[in-house]
Structure 1
Amino acid sequence: MTEAEGAIVAALDRIKMNEDIELAHRYMAGQADAAGLMRGSRSLSHLTEEELGAFHDAYLELLARFARGPEDASPDARPVHLRWFAVPAE
């Protein structure tokens, strides 16, 4: 990856993170009115790099299992943002 490409990737990552932060604020502000469509979880685990990779792969499999576009969704389904990321605790 060139330096220019790296700068573009970094800028896109910042845009995505700002969106994730906004979603977190919406989560905190809207839980009472969400009618069951806001859920969250926090956890701390001690994983090896390989275990984290397996966790990530299992998450992607779970996303694929539940993935559907509006044409395949139930009439009462709503679009829902789903996010996951891991950050070292140290």
Structure 2
Amino acid sequence: MWLSALNGFWQVLLAGLLLGSGLPILFALGVKSIAWAHGDLPDRAANPAGKLVAGALFAVVLLAVLLGLSYIVAHGFGYTLVWNGMLPSFTHK
């Protein structure tokens, strides 16, 4: 009983760390990449690869936010979000 509770605790802690600090870090790195793309960093020349990196980082953050909102809205309408392979889908409770 204690081991299953401890296992659940670590899963919640890991999810909180990834979503609570991971997404803001990815967003900050995206902003830094835009500055890199425009050459706004000291001692750095402009690099167009920064736009590509920033776009990828912002896409990951946007997908995580949309997935979270979808989860909340689905539960409000009586659906649940399930993972079938790589893609999430909604099923009626």
TM-score higher than 0.5 here?
no
More helix as a share of residues: 2
More strand as a share of residues: 2
TM-score using structure 1 length = 0.41
